[in-house]
Structure 1
């Protein structure tokens, strides 16, 4: 999870929401990534998707059985769907996402028995550190908006992580 936090710091450094993810198989990192939506102008460039893609390339196949994904934030529905589709074995995440969490905060996609695969979930690992990064990011958005004389973006102003 510490490596995922380091990935999240990289996202923060280039102006993306600070989310990082690391995929591990047999104790070895096989994929990693951080949010790149802004820098790549790609709505699918979430940390989890990037890490899953890299893990699939590293392991030589899209089925990620035996892989654990460590992520700083609870996944959104898109990322949770990718985890189910990839047959990911386990997700370990830091902070809950009360706005878009798909591991139980808003919806539960990872353990839904209606799907052909369920992902084991461990939540709250290094959550305070993950929340601190999110708070820094949204505080900087609000500060920038104030300096520019415009209201804060709705997603930044309305975010309440606790």
Structure 2
């Protein structure tokens, strides 16, 4: 290998590293927007899960968990965002979109993602109790379905995970205090 080939190889490698860094920054930017949505859910005393759907580098839909507020099992962040994105795009197929979600989707949401033909999902934190992007099941990449989803994981994982951990810690503390208070009366 001559000097010219070595230089070309190094330049190509640097270009790849720059492209990867740019993509990572983009994922962090949109995951931060999903975290903002999760904080809206938290403000309603809902489990803080947020979602954004991006098309052509622009957010076209947002959603956050409202299950208790709406008293509706379907009021998950992903379902809300998918409904809005379909309306915006004018089609049930979201083939040119990327979904950013703070927590790995449940079975229902993973099924909706596959049905909507979303090609890529970026996940903040895995869900070992109900996750269907690899933790419990992998509905998103099930080879027997006619559509599989690329998964990018652990984007702003620490922030997403900490937000959930702190929420449940606070919830348990509030329940404990309420129980203690009721035992005193």
Provide the TM-score with structure 2 as the length reference: 0.80
Q: Distance in 2 between matches of 1:82 and 1:149?
A: 38
Per-residue deviation, residues 110-142 of structure 1 (Å, max 9, x unmatched): 011100111111010001000111012101111
Give the drift of 1:79: 0.3
The one of 139, 161, 166 equivalent to 1:131 is: 161
Partner of 2:61: 31
Per-residue deviation, residues 73-93 of structure 1 (Å, max 9, x unmatched): 000000000000000010001
The one of 111, 120, 141 equivalent to 2:141 is: 111
User: By percentage of residues, which structure has more helix?
Assistant: 2
Please list, as runs of the form range in 1=range in 2, the aligned pairs for 1:6-155 lying within 5 A after superposition.
6-149=36-179
Per-residue deviation, residues 22-69 of structure 1 (Å, max 9, x unmatched): 000011111110000011001010001111111000001100001000
Higher alpha-carbon Rg = 2
Unaligned 5+ segments in structure 1 are 151-162
Matched residue of 2:151: which SS?
Answer: strand
| Runs of 4+ off more than 3 Å | none
Q: How many residues align?
A: 150
Unaligned 5+ segments in structure 2 are 1-30, 181-185
Provide the TM-score with structure 1 as the length reference: 0.91
> What is the RMSD of the two structures over their aligned residues, measured on CA atoms?
0.8
Partner of 1:155: none
Q: Distance in 2 between matches of 1:112 and 1:128?
A: 27
Give the drift of 1:149: 1.3
Partner of 1:153: none
